[in-house]
Chains A and B, each alone.
Chain A
C-alpha cells in the first residue's frame, strides 16, 4: 500500500465523516424542529405577547397606545376593580385551603387504607377514579341538577329522611354555594390524589415497613413515621397541582354558578374575573384586552412564584430513596 493511496483514503474518510455528520444534523433537525416550532408559536409566543399586550390601551381587537402600567393600576387599585380582585382572590384561597383539607385529606386516608390491599381493592380503585375521567362540564351540570332546590335529588332525599330544614337552595345562597362547589370538586377529583399517593406508598420498599413492624410500631406509627415522610415527593406534586388547579378554578363556578360568580359574587374566582375583564360581561362591560392581559400576567406571576416557593419548601423535606 503506497502512501499516496493512503492519503486519498484519508480524504475520502474526512469527506464521508463530514457527510455523516451533516446527515446526523439534518436528521436531528427533522426530529426537533416541528415540535419546537409548534411550542414556540402556540405557547411561548402568546405567553410573551400577553406581557406586551398588558402595557397597551385596547379598543376592542385594535391595539391603541402604550400606557405603561396603566392597566395594572386599573385592575389593582380602581375601587370597583380592586374589590372584585380581592373578592375573587379570597375565594380562590378558600378553595385551595378547603381542597387541601377535604379533598387531599380524604385522598390520603383512602390511599392509606387501599395500600393495605383490602378485599375489593381493584374495585375500589376503579370506582374512586371513575369521576376523574369525566368532563367537569358533565360533573357540573349533573350536580347542578342534583342540587336543584325543588326537583334535585339532594333535597328530595333530605325531605325523605325528614330533614326538611336542611333542604336549602344550596347553590342559591351565598353562604352555601362555594362550599357546595368545593364538595362537588372533591367528589370529582379525589381519585386523582388518592391514586398518586397510593402509587407512592407502593413504591416504599416492603422491608422498611416490615422492619418498623418488627421494631414494634403500630399501624398509626408506621403511617406517621415511615410512610408519610417517604411519600413526600407525591405530596409535593399534589400540593402544587392543587394550588395551580385552585387558582385556575373556572369550570365548576362557571357551570354551577354563572360567569358573574353568582350568587352575589360569592363564587367568583380569578378565572371568572379574568374572563369577564377580557371578553366582557354584564358587570365588567365591554371586552378589555389590556386590563385582561394585565390580570393574566399578575395571576401568572402569583401562581408561578408560589409554585416555586411551595416546591422548594416541600422538596427540602423529601428524602432520596436509594
Chain B
C-alpha cells in the first residue's frame, strides 16, 4: 500500500534525454499501467522508480517520503522482470527466499513467508524444483512469488507476460488482476500491449519519447483521447483518421470539408483558435462506422481485405479519396474483396484533431 508521487523527473544517458519532466501521482492500491511504443522510455521510468537506474533530476516519493537516494532494496519495492530472472541454480524455495536471506531474516520467518506466498500462488508442490523444470506460467508465478515474500509497498512489473503464449497470457492477465485485489497493493505495470493496458489498469499512463501524453482510466482514454497519438495508440484496430479542411466558422462549431466534398459541422469550444483553411483530421473508431446506411457523412470505397472471426468482421477499404479505413462490424457481413461499399458515420462519434495532433473535440 503506497501513494507514489513523481515530480519533475528527468533522465538522460549522455546527450540523449530518455525521460523528460515526468510528473505523476499514483494512489494507494492503484493498478497503473505504463504503455507506449518500444523505446518510449516506459521501462526506463520503471527502472528509475526501482532504483536500478540513477535519475538525473527530480523527486520520487512514496507515502510522502523521498526514496530517490535509497538503493533499490531499501525502497520497499519489488520487481517482476520480463524474463522472470529466476536464479537458474536455485530451487523455487531458494529463489523466493533469496531477498530475505540477504536481509538476514530468521529461518522461521523466512519459511513462513515463503510457504504463505507459495500457498497464494499454488506453488507449494513446486518449492523444491529448479526453474528449468517449470512451465512458463509456473516460472511467471515464482517470479511474482519472489516479489510477494518481500511484502513490498509497491510492485513493479516489466512486460511480465510477453514471454507467454497467447492463451496463457489471457489467463495470467486475469490472475494478476485477482492478485492485485487480494494483495491490496499498489502496482505499476509496463507493457507495449494496449490490450493488457485496457483490461488490467485502474489508470493508464501513455508515454511517448519520454513524455507522458495522457493519464487516465482506460475508457476515459478510449473515449476522450487528449491527442491523436493516444487516439491512435489505444484501441485495436486503430482509430481511422480522415483529412479535413476548415471552411467555415460559427459561434460554437467549425464547418469542415472532407476530401469528397461532403461538409460537416462539428461543435468546438474555442473557435477562435482555428482559421479558415486549416488542415485537420477527424478520427472515428472502426466500430462507429456504419455500413450502407444513410448518415451524417459517407465515405465510398473499395474493399481490399476482409477478416472474418465469426462473431465479428473487420472490413478494410480504400476510400475514393485515398484514405485507408477499417470498419468493425458485429456478426458476419456478406462483403468480399473488391466490393464497392459505402460507409457512414455520425458527427457525434467524431473526434477532431488539429494539425499539431491536439484534440479539438
Contacts and interface: CB of A to CB of B under 8 A. Distances in A.
Interface of A: 1, 6, 9, 12-13, 16-17, 20
B112 interface: no
B302 to A, nearest CB: 40
B66 A9 contact: yes
- Which of B54, B61, B69 has the most chain A CB atoms inside 10 A of its CB? B69
A12 B64 contact: no
Contact of A1 (B54, B64, B70): B64
Contacts of A6: 59, 66
Interface in B321-346: none
B175 to A, nearest CB: 37
B39 interface: no
Q: Which 7 A-B pairs have the closest CB atoms?
A: A13-B69, A9-B66, A16-B69, A12-B69, A13-B68, A1-B64, A17-B54
A166 to B, nearest CB: 60
A20 B59 contact: no
Contacts of A17: 54, 69
Contacts of B277: none
Interface of B: 54, 59, 61, 64, 66, 68-71
Contacts, number: 15
A229 B8 CA distance: 58
B71 A20 contact: yes
Contacts of B64: 1
A9 B66 CA distance: 7
A133 to B, nearest CB: 30
Contacts of A9: 66, 69
Contacts of B54: 17
Contacts of B61: 1
Contacts of A1: 61, 64
A13 B66 CA distance: 10
B223 to A, nearest CB: 35
B307 to A, nearest CB: 33
A16 B69 CA distance: 7
Contacts of A13: 66, 68-69
Given A1-B61, A20-B71, 13 more contacts: A1-B64, A6-B59, A6-B66, A9-B66, A9-B69, A12-B69, A13-B66, A13-B68, A13-B69, A16-B69, A16-B70, A17-B54, A17-B69
Nearest to B68: A13
Contacts of B71: 20
Nearest to A12: B69
A1 B64 CA distance: 8
A10 to B, nearest CB: 8
A244 to B, nearest CB: 39
Nearest to B69: A13
Nearest to A1: B64
Contacts of B66: 6, 9, 13
Nearest to A14: B69
A119 to B, nearest CB: 33
A209 to B, nearest CB: 32
A304 to B, nearest CB: 37
Contacts of B69: 9, 12-13, 16-17
B286 to A, nearest CB: 39
A17 B68 CA distance: 10
A266 B250 CA distance: 108
A8 to B, nearest CB: 9
Contacts of A20: 71
A9 B54 CA distance: 15
Nearest to B64: A1
A1 B70 CA distance: 18
A1 B68 CA distance: 15
Nearest to B59: A6
A6 B70 CA distance: 14
Nearest to B57: A10
A1 to B, nearest CB: 6
Nearest to A21: B54
A192 B68 CA distance: 56
Nearest to A9: B66
5 contacts: A6-B66, A9-B69, A12-B69, A13-B68, A16-B70
Nearest to A8: B66
